Structure formats: C-alpha cells, structure tokens
Amino acid sequence: MKKTLFAQRFKTLASSLLLASTLGLAGTAAAEDPLKVGFIYVSPIGDAGWTYQHDLGRKAIEEKFGDKIQVKYVESVPEGAEAERVTREMASSGSKLIFGTSFGFMNPMLKVAKTFPDTHFEHATGYKTEANLGNYNARFYEGRYLSGIVAGSMTKTKTLGYVAAFPIPEVVMGINAFTRGAQSVNPDIKVKVIWVNSWFDPGREREAAVTLMDQDADVITHHTDSTAVVIAAEEKGKYAIAYHSDMSKYGPKAQLTAVTHHWEKFYIDQVQQALDKTWKPTSIWGGVKEGMIDIAPLNAVVPKEVAEKVEKAKAALADGSLHPFAGPVLDQDGKETVAAGSNMTDEVLLKMDYYVKGVDGKLPK
Amino acid sequence: MLRLEPRSAPSNLMVYLSPLLAMILMLVVGMIVFTILGQPPFKAFHAFFIEPINDWYGFGELLIKASPLALIALGLAVGFRANVWNIGAEGQLTMGAIAAGGVTLWLQDSTSAWILLPLMFIAGAIGGMLWASIPAFLRTRFNTSEILVSLMLVYVANLILSWLIHGPWRDPDGYGFPQSKMFEANALLPILIEGTRVHAGVLLTLVALVLAAVFFRWSLTAFQMRVAGLAPKAALYAGFKQRKTVWFGLLAGGAAAGLAGTAEIAGPIGQLLMPISPGYGFAAIIVAFVGRLHPVGIALASLLMALLYLGGESAQMQLGLPAAVSGVFQGMLLFFLLATDVLIQFRVRWISKTSTEAAS
C-alpha cells in the first residue's frame, strides 16, 4: 500500500511537472499527443508471478519512452464478459496499443478489435489474429529444460516433484521439457506431478508441494502463480525451482534457480513500432534466443560443472543446435513420437497432450 | 461506558432510510479514502461514479451488470424473507449455465433460435433448482445447515464446470485450452440497443421484478413464508408447513441464479469457460439486503452495486488506483448498512461508571 501511495504521489508530481513543461512549450509548437498504451492483467500485480513479470515490461516502456507515451493498466480483470468491457473502455478512452495478458482475453479482444480498426491489440498466449490483433507468447519449455538439468544434477532421490495448474498443452509441455532436461543428466530420474486445478491457490499449492516431498521428491517446481511451493521447500529443507519470477527472497536456501519470463524487450519493440507507425500484427513465440525466457542466477550450492553444463545448453538453445524435444522422443509407454534426427514441430508442440517417458502417473484427460 | 439497548418500537421510516444513509456514509468515507490515497476527492468521485456511465455504452454495461445481480437477489429474497439462507447462488448460477450450455452444444446445429433459446432458459432454471434442491433436501430431511451446504456446493459446481471444459466439452479446435466451442448466433440473445452489449436478458430481469412484486404483495405463499421468517412459532401454530417454506425459498433462489447464468453465457460470454460469473451470486446477497428484500429496493441496489464494479475499473484506468478499491466500497456499503440497522433496533446509551458499578 505504501509503495502505491508513494508511486501515486510521485506520479502526481511527475505529471504536474510534465504539465508545466508542456504549458511552456505550448506557445512554440503543438507537442505531439502521447501514444496511449493500455495493459489488461488477469490477476493483481503483487510482488512475484505472471502478472508481475508483465508489469516489469510496463515499467520498462514507461522508463524508456517517458512522455512520448501514456500508460494505463487494469489489474484483476476476470476472463469472460468483464474482459470485453475493460478492453473496450481502454480503446474508447483513446488507447492505441492494448496488451491483454491472459489466454481468456482472446475472444473478447477479438470482438473489440473488430470495432476499433485503428487501435492495435496484442494478446498474450492465444492463437487467433486479426488485421489489428497480434499475439505473443514465450517458449517457456526452453527454460524448463534448463532448470531440468539443474534439478537432475541436484536430486539424490532421483525423484522430482511438479505442482501443475491445468492439463493444457502449455503446462504439459513444461512438465515434459523439465523431465527431458533432468533425464539428460540421468535417465533414471522420475517426475511426479500433482494437479491443483487452479492458477493461484497458495493453500492447495502448498499441500501439493508437501505431498510431493513426502513422496521422496527432493527438488520440486511448479506451474502455478504463487510463492507457496518455494516457501514449502524452504521450510522442509528441500530444493525448489521457481516459476515466472525469481523467488530467491522467499527461499534463499531452497531456490536452485527460477524459470523467468522477460517481456520488456517485446513491449519496447511494440511501442516503438506503434510510434514509428510500422506496427503490424504478428505471432511471436520467443524463447531463450529472443531473451523472453531465462533462468535466475543459480544458487551457490549448485556445483560449477553443473553451472557450466547449463550455460552450454543455454547457448545451444539460443543458436538452435539444441531442441528440448529433439528426437527420439518417447511417450510414457515407450512409443516413439518424434523420430531420431528431427525436432518436434511447433504445431505438434502446441497440441501436446501426453507425458514423455519418465513422468509418473497418468495425464488427466 | 456505551451500551446498546433495544428500542421499544423501531422506526419504520428509518428502515427504508438506512440504505440511503449507508450509501451516503460510504461516499463520505470513500472521499476520505481518496484523499488519503493522494487523489483530489471530487475528481476521484467523478472517475468512480460518473465516468463509467456517461455514454450509452457505459450505461448499457451498467444494465447488463445490474441485471444478473437483481435477478439473483430477487430469488434469494424469497428465501431470505422466510429465514432460509441460501448462500450458494454462485454455484446454482454455474449449474444453470452448465445445463443451458449443454443444451446449446447438443442442439445448436439443428435448432432455430426460437426453440433453442427458450430451451436453454428452461434448462438453466432446472439446473439451478436441482443444485438448490440438495441443501433443501438435506435441511428438511436431516436438518443440516443450508448455509454451509449451499456454500460448499459452489466449489463443487465450479469443479464440475472445470472438468467439463477440460474434458468432454472442450473445443476440439481450441489448442487444448479449457473452454467450449463458441456458441452459434442462434444460441445468443439478441442485442436490444445498437452499439452496446445490452441483451434481451435484461428484459427477463424486468419481468421477474414485476412478478416478484406481485408475488410478495398478493400471494398467500409469500405471506406464509414471511410469517415463517418473522415469527416461526406463530407460523407453526397457524399450520404453515415449514418444509414447504424451505423448499420454496431455496428453489426460487436456484431458479433465479440458473436463469442469470444462462443469460450470461447466451449474452456477453457466448461460450462456456471459467469463470462464468465474477461473483454475482455472492454480490447478490448484499444487493438483496441493501434492497431491503423488496423488488424496488433490489432494482436500485443492483444498479448501485453494478456501478461500484464499473467504478473500480474506471478508477484504475483514470487514476491508477488499485483494483481493491471496488472491494473496499462494497465492503463499506454493507458495513454501514449493518451498522445503521443496529441503530434502528437498538439505541446507544451512555451509562456512567458509577451507575454500572451500582447495578452490578
């Protein structure tokens, strides 16, 4: 609250200075109107997690473009009927570039995009496009693969734990990439998964984490939005790999690394293009190479050889010589889904609905 | 020290004035909150309460948000008047939407809108009623608390919806994302005002308001239920059936919530996804009480409640205030209403220390 208050005051001060300076200029030349940019978030910004990472991108464009743009955001917008109104309000109050950062905003944004042809829309994690609607997403699975190498090197029980939200391709892809990363170190490693059926439910995430640790998992990770899993690992003296944000302050001993999202460059590029009037709708799926996905600094307990191995793999991902789903890819029953010598295509990846070899249990359908 | 003493005759006038008073108190304290947040209070007031509805689109949004709130609150009021506490309208809404959505996915390729839409609403009402019948049955049979049962069933309903859209009803062309196919045009409610999202579901709520007013005023059942609520022993003595009261109260709430859920998926949403309602089922409880369980009051309270939702968004966009501001206003409204209600029933008296000591 304090932070917000301070930020608010600061903004008031900044805007009044701004006003004073534009008043000074008004006589000489009509300053160009700032580009209005809007962000629609599905959850509160908080201090770690999915929305927090996007908000870092918002702050980055504010810092970079200063008074050339005017940025607004709305947090905690539910998917469904609400999203359409908020998007529309943003557009009709003059925003010319609007980012919506949740899958469920896709159809509402599409509807609004059709009635505001001069406004640019960018939707995260969806698949539909329109003349003025682009989409963007990150290759989360690349970071998962790297973190899998770390987990695979640090486990003593050869059992890893994974707290997962919903069995959709994006999440399944992450579990599989993590497993393959760990198995690149030791093919005997197993990954146990618990589904909590929620993106954000600290209570259930924690419970799932504790269950996994009781079942012998000594490195756990999560594809959910809270810090509960990292905190639980810290308390139990086990290791954790965080997701979305670096959560080392919640688990200074537990966090080995974190798979982190970085949207700053993407947002800066989009705003720049909108200012240059060169914006076009694109479908961007960026990974380690584009800097959209990275891992947080490794914990001091991780040996140097492991760090070097991870560094090498990261470089290989960036130059394309390594693909987390390079054939042969075997599913749980040992059936080959990608032949040796070829990589899984993006199209197949986006529809992934099976576990690879090494994941324990059955994927809920 | 301060002490609350029951009043011999609560003021009738104040019963109706207290919601207004609560609203004024909410506004005054709201202004203070805005000031503390570093906002000029009148500008903030404008952004919160005027901005969202100063064009047709915004006004339309107010209507489509107030509509489910009013509809559900009416249904709940039937039960609340008889001390039947259905807290689970949110779950009944979800089950109604599931039933209506099931009918849509099953029939939308082969049926015209004239048949499909009525069928959807019938299914929606039945879905909501079925879900409400569980607490009704358990209450009348085993005397369980309908408050707990209906509330817990909200979570069960959400899990069922989640299972359906992750499993059997998932859009096969949706890249595995958990939502159903988009509904075809024949399963969508017509738009009433061009350029807005105001759909025919608003008419349904208007009809329900009139029907409820007639029902509360002239029906014997409503009278019996009111008596059961105000004086259970008198109702028993008069031979009014308690079971009937419980069943009727819960089913009315379930049906209304189910219809509201149907109007949401056939209106602004247009498919089944999670979540269907941003908490209408719970907010409607506040609406019912602020509206004094009376149709006219409920209509006004639903508009106010809808405005609080819209204002929260507008305040975020215009002033960069946190999303929690909406919740603060809703909470204050209910808090002040309860506080003023206490003062209707009780009076505050200052009792000096010596006299309390003497009394003890």
Give the confidence band of B5 by pLDDT, cuts at 50, 70, 90.
Answer: confident
Q: Is residue B248, in this structure, part of any structural domain at all? A: yes
**If we measure between CA atoms, which residue out of A239, A166, A185, A169 comes closest to residue A209?**
A239
Q: Which residues pair with B6 in a beta bridge?
A: B346
CB contact under 8 A, A88 and B57: yes
pLDDT band at B172 (very low <50, low <70, confident <90, very high): confident
Q: How confident is the model at residue B130 (pLDDT cuts 50, 70, 90)?
A: very high
Of A72-86, A295-309, B259-273, minimum mean pLDDT range: A72-86
Amino acid symbol at A3: K
Return the residue of B nearest to A36 by Cα.
B317
Contacts of A84 in chain B (CB under 8 A): 197, 268
Residue B122 near residue B130 (C-beta atoms within 8 A): no
Question: Does residue B212 contact residue B295 with C-beta atoms inside 8 Å?
Answer: yes
Residues of A in Cβ contact (< 8 Å) with B278: 78, 80-82
Q: How far is B108 from chain A (nearest CA, A)?
A: 19
- CA–CA gap between residue B44 and residue B41 (Å, rounded): 5
Interface of A with B in 121-140 (CB under 8 A): 127
pLDDT digits 0-9 by tens, B240-253: 888 899 999 999 99
Give the E-state strand segments of A101-167 in sequence order. Answer: 120-124, 133-138, 159-164
Burial of A163 (0-12, 13-18, 19+ CB in 10 A): buried
Q: How many angstroms separate the most distant Cα atoms in chain A?
A: 75
Record the tokens describing residue B315, joined without a space: 């305040």
- Sequence-distant (6+) residues with CB within 8 A of B12 are none
Question: Angle at which helices B324-345 and B12-36 pack, to 10 degrees?
Answer: 150
Q: CA of A11: which chain B residue's CA is closest?
A: B320
pLDDT of residue A64: 95
Question: Could you give phi then psi for residue A73, rounded to 5 degrees?
Answer: -145, 155
Judged by a CB distance cut-off of 8 A, whether residue B186 touches chain A is: no
- Give the model confidence (pLDDT) of B185-213 as tens digits: 999 999 998 888 899 999 999 999 999 99
Q: Which helix (H) or strand (E) holds A62?
A: helix A50-65
Asked whether the beta carbons of B49 and B307 are under 8 A apart, the reply is yes
DSSP state for residue A36 in the 8-state scheme = E
Q: Residue A294's beta-bridge partner residues?
A: A260
Tokens 């770690």, located at residue: A48
Q: How far apart are CA A246 and CA A240, in angstroms?
A: 11
Cβ contact B317–A72 (<8 Å): yes
Q: Does position B216 have pLDDT exceeding 50, yes or no?
A: yes
CB A196 within 8 A of CB A204: yes
For range A165-193, the mean pLDDT: 94
Q: Please give the residue of chain B at the shortest CA–CA distance from A73.
A: B317
- Mean pLDDT of the B168-195 span: 87
| B214 occurs within a structural domain | yes
The Cα of B346 is separated from the nearest Cα of chain A by a number of Å equal to 37
Q: Produce one character per residue of B95-123: b if its CB has 16 or more CB atoms within 10 Å, e if not.
A: bbbbbbbbbbbebbeebebeebbebbbbb
Q: Does B170 touch chain A (CB under 8 A)?
A: no
Per-residue exposure over B174-198, b if at least 16 CB sit within 10 Å of its own CB, e if not = bbbbbbbbebeebbbbeebeeebbb
- In angstroms, the CA B312 to CA A87 distance is 15
Please give the Cα distance from A353 to A102 (Å, whole number): 21
Q: What is the mean pLDDT of residues A293-304?
A: 96
pLDDT for B8: 80
With an 8 Å Cβ cutoff, are B273 and A72 in contact? no
Give, for A143, the enclosing helix (H) or strand (E): helix A140-154
The 3-state secondary structure of chain B reads: CEEEEECCCCCHHHHHHHHHHHHHHHHHHHHHHHHHCCCCHHHHHHHHHHHHHCCHHHHHHHHHHHHHHHHHHHHHHHHHCCCCCCCCHHHHHHHHHHHHHHHHHHHCCCCCHHHHHHHHHHHHHHHHHHHHHHHHHHHHHHCCCHHHHHHHHHHHHHHHHHHHHHCCCCCCCCCCCCCCCCCCHHHCCCECCCCCCCECHHHHHHHHHHHHHHHHHHCHHHHHHHHHHHCHHHHHHCCCCHHHHHHHHHHHHHHHHHHHHHHHHHHHHCCCCCCCCCCHHHHHHHHHHHCCCCHHHHHHHHHHHHHHHHHHHHHHHHHCCCCHHHHHHHHHHHHHHHHHHHHHHEEEEECCHHHHHHHC
Give the span between the Cα atoms of B53 and B344, in whole angstroms: 34
CB contact residues (below 8 A), chain B span 17-46, against chain A:
37-39
Task: Centre a 10 Å sphere on the Cβ of residue B28 and count the other Cβ atoms it contains.
Answer: 13
Average pLDDT of span A175-197: 95
Report whether pLDDT(B158) > 50: yes
Q: Alpha-carbon distance B48 to B40, whole Å? A: 12
Give the pLDDT confidence score for residue B239 in this predicted structure. Answer: 83
Beta strand A329-330 with A336-338: parallel, antiparallel or unpaired?
A: antiparallel
Average pLDDT over chain A, rounded to whole? Answer: 90
- B322 vs A104: CB contact, 8 Å cut-off? no
Residue type, A205: E
Least confident of A9-18, A169-178, B182-191, B342-351: A9-18
Q: Are A162 and A358 in contact (CB under 8 A)?
A: no
Q: Are B345 and B10 in contact (CB under 8 A)?
A: yes
**CB distance A9–B38 less than 8 Å?**
yes
Please judge whether A81 and B162 are an interchain contact, meaning their C-beta atoms are less than 8 angstroms apart: no
**Which among A80, A351, A364 has CB closest to B275?**
A80
Tell me the average pLDDT across A147-159.
Answer: 97
Closest approach of A153 to chain B, Cα-based (Å):
32
Do the chains contact at B316 and A75, CB–CB below 8 Å?
Answer: yes
User: Can you tell me the distance from the alpha carbon of B282 to that of B210, in angstroms, rounded to the nearest whole number?
Assistant: 23
Q: How far is B339 from chain A (nearest CA, A)?
A: 27
- The arithmetic mean of pLDDT across residues B279-305, rounded, is 93
Which residues of chain A are within 8 Å of residue B316 when distances are taken between CB atoms?
72-75
**Is a pLDDT exceeding 50 seen at residue A3?**
no
B274 interfacial to chain A (CB closer than 8 Å): yes
Query: Which residue segment(s) compose the domain that B131 sits in?
Result: 56-320
A286 phi and psi angles, rounded to 5 deg: -95, 150
SS3 A162: strand
Chain A residue numbers with beta carbons less than 8 Å from the beta carbon of B58 are: 89
> What pLDDT shows up at residue A22?
42
The predicted-structure confidence for A30-50, as pLDDT tens digits, reads as follows: 457 899 999 999 988 988 999
In the structure encoding, which two tokens stand for residue B182, read together?
């988009």
**Confidence at residue B357, expressed as pLDDT on a 0 to 100 scale:** 53
- Which element (helix H / strand E) includes A23? helix A2-26
Hey, is A168 helix, strand or coil? coil
Residue A117 reports pLDDT greater than 50? yes
* Option in A80, A88, A351 nearest B176 (CB): A351
Tell me: pLDDT of B271 over 60: yes
Judged by a CB distance cut-off of 8 A, whether residue B168 touches chain A is: no
Task: State the CATH number of the domain containing residue B122.
Answer: 1.10.3470
Tokens encoding B42: 């009148």
State how far the Cα of A259 lies from the Cα of A181, in Å rounded to an integer.
Answer: 13
| Nearest residue, CB atoms, B320 vs list A11, A350, A353 | A11
Which residues, 6 or more positions from A11, have their beta carbon under 8 angstroms from its beta carbon? B320
Fold annotation for A140-260+293-349: Rossmann fold (3.40.50)
Average pLDDT, chain B: 90
Question: Is position B10 within any domain?
Answer: no
| Any domain includes B63 | yes
Is B1 inside any structural domain?
Answer: no
Reported as a single tens digit per residue, the pLDDT across A93-112 is 899 999 999 988 999 999 99
Please give the CATH architecture assigned to the domain spanning A33-138.
Answer: 3-Layer(aba) Sandwich (3.40)
Residues of A in contact with B64 (CB under 8 A): 81
The answer to whether position B306 is within a domain reads yes
Shortest CA distance from B182: residue in chain A: A107
pLDDT of residue B240: 83
Q: Which of A295-304, B21-30, B59-68, B230-239 has the lowest mean pLDDT?
A: B230-239
| Residue B249 included in any domain | yes
A224-256: pLDDT as tens digits: 989 999 999 999 999 999 999 999 999 999 999
Q: A13 pLDDT exceeds 50? A: no
Interface size, chain A vs chain B, as Cβ–Cβ contacts under 8 Å: 89
pLDDT category, B356, cuts 50, 70, 90? low
Å from B305 to nearest chain A CA?
Answer: 15
Closest to A86 in 3D by CA, of A131, A134, A41: A41
CA–CA dist A42, A77 (Å, integer) = 5
Strand order of the sheet with strand A190-195? A190-195, A159-164, A219-223, A239-244, A255-261, A293-295
Q: How many CA atoms lie within 13 A of A195 on its CB side?
A: 16
Mean pLDDT of A335-351: 91
Would you state the structure tokens that stand for residue B189, as one six-digit string?
């409610």
CB contact set of A244 (below 8 Å; sequence gap of 6+):
A48, A49, A50, A52, A53, A225, A258, A259, A260, A261
Enter the pTM of the model: 0.83
Looking at the structure of chain B, the number of domains it has is 1
Tokens for B32?
A: 């203070």
Integer angstrom CA distances of residue A274 from A277, A280, A340, B338: 5, 9, 43, 51
Chain B residues close to A109, C-beta within 8 Å: none
In a domain, B9, yes or no: no
How many Å apart are CA A293 and CA A258, to the nearest integer? 10
- Domain spans in chain A, listed from the N-terminal domain onward: 33-138, 140-260+293-349
Interface membership of B157 toward A (CB under 8 Å): no
Give chain B positions within 8 Å (CB) of A86: 313
> B312-351, pLDDT tens digit by residue?
888 888 888 888 888 888 888 889 988 888 888 888 888 7
Q: Which of residues 332-351 of A touch B (CB under 8 A)?
A: 350-351
Determine the residue among A74, A99, A172 to mutate to test chain B binding: the one whose Cβ has the most chain B Cβ atoms within 10 Å: A74
